[in-house]
């Protein structure tokens, strides 16, 4: 997937409102889907740095939480999905780690965390998972965001 395709996802997957209740509903939506698929993932939904939902399914470890935090910091800093940020560096023939000069213990531009974008406002939070290969983490979040948004007027 290239950076233009990843940006198109961000333009499409936007909310009209995003409060605590919506964040919890979104987290539960991801949790239900992950359970149905038997995925060993940790899930996090945040608004403005406030964690509103977190769950860790069997097969996860504390390291998954650390990955979620590192990927969420990238989304908060750049305003784009963690997969998009890493992809843009790779498309330039480099890596996030080499070029960003950010501490890799704090930031990870690996797929799995997506910005919560409020239509007309911009990014207001993050939704993410950790536990699968980065492209699968990203694809799961995007698929579930699309499903969630299509099921409601968000």
Q: Which of 83, 82, 28 is nearest to 57 (CA)?
A: 28
7: burial class by Cβ within 10 Å (0-12, 13-18, 19+)?
Answer: middle
Q: What is the CATH number of domain 3-150?
A: 3.30.450.150
Distance CA 17, CA 33 (A): 22
Q: What is the pTM of this model?
A: 0.95
Print pLDDT tens along the chain (154 aa).
999 999 999 999 999 999 999 999 999 999 999 999 999 999 999 999 999 999 999 999 999 999 999 999 999 999 999 999 999 999 999 999 999 999 999 999 999 999 999 999 999 999 999 999 999 999 999 999 999 999 986 4
């Amino acid at each position: 997937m290239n950076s233009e395709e990843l940006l198109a996802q961000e333009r499409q997957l936007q909310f009209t409102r995003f409060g605590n209740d919506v964040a919890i509903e979104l987290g539960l939506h991801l949790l239900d889907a992950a359970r149905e698929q038997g995925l060993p993932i940790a899930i996090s939904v945040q608004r403005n740095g406030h964690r509103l939902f977190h769950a860790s399914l069997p097969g996860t470890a504390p390291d998954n939480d650390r990955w979620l935090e590192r990927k969420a910091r990238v989304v908060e800093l750049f305003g784009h999905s963690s997969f998009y940020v890493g992809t843009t560096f790779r498309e330039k023939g480099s890596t996030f780690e080499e070029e960003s000069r950010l501490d890799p213990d704090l930031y990870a531009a690996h797929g799995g965390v997506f910005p919560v974008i409020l239509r007309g406002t911009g990014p207001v939070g993050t939704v993410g998972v950790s536990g699968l290969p980065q492209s699968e983490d990203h694809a799961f979040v995007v698929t579930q965001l699309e499903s969630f948004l299509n099921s409601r007027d968000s």
